[in-house]
Amino acid sequence: MNSTSTLVKMILDRWSSALQSCDKLLNSLTDEQLNQATAPTKNNGIYILGHLIAVHDDMIRLLGFGEKVVPAYFDVFIKAPYSADATLPNAAELRLNWTKMNEVLSQKMNALSEANWLEAHTAVSAEDFAKEPHRNKLNIILTRTTHLTYHTGQLTLLNR
């Protein structure tokens, strides 16, 4: 295995591990727990889960995999900050979309070769990518893994 293979495998394994940890936690949380705030005046679990779905959905676009699965979530969970008064999808809908989202991502990610991972993502121009080749698809996975683990930590606060 060459160094590129090793690097790609390490990052994708870390992504998978973070996703499994989040799944395990989500499966342990009741719908009532997801409706709780992580702390007074802070996001609740419903908003955090919706936000994670919206971010993962945007990965489909960034990685060049096609159109978003739940595009309406972008405005609700990324553009708009959390509001206790907002009308949000229920836990059952979010759980279903979380599973669907991760199945779609997994299928598309597994189809990429090592070389594909080092290609530019869709939010970087060819000119910028020539100057900054680290702005590649693999880097999207790296940053989104960090994002996922951060919010998994927040969701852990609901498991009380």
The CA distance from 48 to 130, in Å, is 35
The CA distance from 96 to 79, in Å, is 22
Maximum separation of any 2 CA atoms in the chain, in Å? 52
What pLDDT, on the 0 to 100 scale, is given for residue 138?
A: 98
What pLDDT, on the 0 to 100 scale, is given for residue 160?
A: 75
DSSP letters for 126-138: HHHHHH-TTSBHH
- For the chain, the average pLDDT equals 96
Quickly state the pLDDT bin for 1 (edges 50, 70, 90).
Answer: confident
What pLDDT, on the 0 to 100 scale, is given for residue 58?
A: 97
Average of pLDDT values for 19-46? 96
Residue 117 CB-half CA count within 13 A: 19
User: 53-112, pLDDT tens digit by residue?
Assistant: 999 999 999 999 999 999 999 999 999 999 988 999 999 999 999 999 999 999 999 999
What domains can you pick out in the chain, each with its CATH number? 3-156 (1.20.120.450)
What pLDDT, on the 0 to 100 scale, is given for residue 151?
A: 98
What pLDDT, on the 0 to 100 scale, is given for residue 84?
A: 84
Burial class (CB in 10 A: 0-12, 13-18, 19+), 33: middle
Quickly state the pLDDT bin for 159 (edges 50, 70, 90).
Answer: confident
